[in-house]
A = this chain, B = another copy of it.
Amino acid sequence: MPRSKFGDIYRDLKYKIESGEYPYQSLVPSENTLVAVYSCSRNTVRRALAGLIEAGYVQAIQGKGVRVLYRPVPVARAPFTLGRMESFRETALRCRTSYQTRVVHFSMTQTDGAMAAASGFPPGADVYHVERVRIIDGRAMVLEVSYFLRSVVPTLTPEAAEQSIYAYLEKELGVQIMTSKRTITVERATPADRLYLDMGSYDCLAVVTNQAFNADGILFEYTVSHYHPEYFRFQDTASRRGKKAE
């Protein structure tokens, strides 16, 4: 379902880079060449390139060309990588591992003052409270504590939570995540972490708090994920100019 031309070009170029057709340190064809290849305007080519730049795949150099910075990641050191906006299920599929979700808590409650301040929910709002353990290759590696706003997510069941909640939200309720704010910190393992995860001798873990907004700009999900250190990895790319020059 190609919904945009620049998206098609983005994916095509990305594939050509990943497959080695445009190797590390080489220059991709010039914008004008790509205009001819894809039969589109320069504007459209530039939008596709902008996506690759943001993804860290290439770097544009004025007057020279667009250089490939992508190199395949050694698989051994990438058991579980964050970076893009994807669900646990998508991540597991991408990594080709067996996965499983266990719901260890499910209830309905209301936000109190402290929780509202931390999450961004309005105080006294009705929310679902779900706690899940993510299991990869038989090892419990993530403990996720989630809250869903009932005014946006009116019905939620432990069964849906056991599967992919996002698939359920999108297909059954028509709720889509449009924007997502994430914060990563390192914190000491709590008793709950030790109870549910195979912490071994580790006493800290990676904590990712996530706020998700739907298409109406309403904050409807607040999730705190506790990752086992050995299964946490986050990748990121930053470019200096060309975007905002702050």
Contact = CB atoms under 8 A, between A and B. Distances in A.
Interface stretch (A131-139, A153-161, A233-241): A233-241
Interface stretch (A33-41, A50-58, A190-198): A50-58
A244 interface: yes
Interface in A139-190: 176-188
Contacts of A25: 217
Contacts of A229: 185-188, 204
Contact of A179 (B84, B179, B185, B237): B237
A238 B178 CA distance: 8
Question: How many subunits of this chain does the assembly comprise?
Answer: 2
B202 A235 contact: no
Contacts of A217: 25, 59, 61, 67, 69
A126 to B, nearest CB: 19
A85 interface: yes
Contacts of A4: 245
A177 B53 CA distance: 14
Nearest to A243: B51
A11 B176 contact: no
A84 B3 contact: no
A232 B51 contact: no
Nearest to A68: B217
B186 A238 contact: no
Interface in A188-246: 188, 201-206, 213, 215-217, 227, 229, 232-241, 243-246
A246 B84 CA distance: 10
A7 interface: yes
Contact of A51 (B56, B184, B185, B244): B244
A10 interface: yes
A16 interface: no
A120 interface: yes
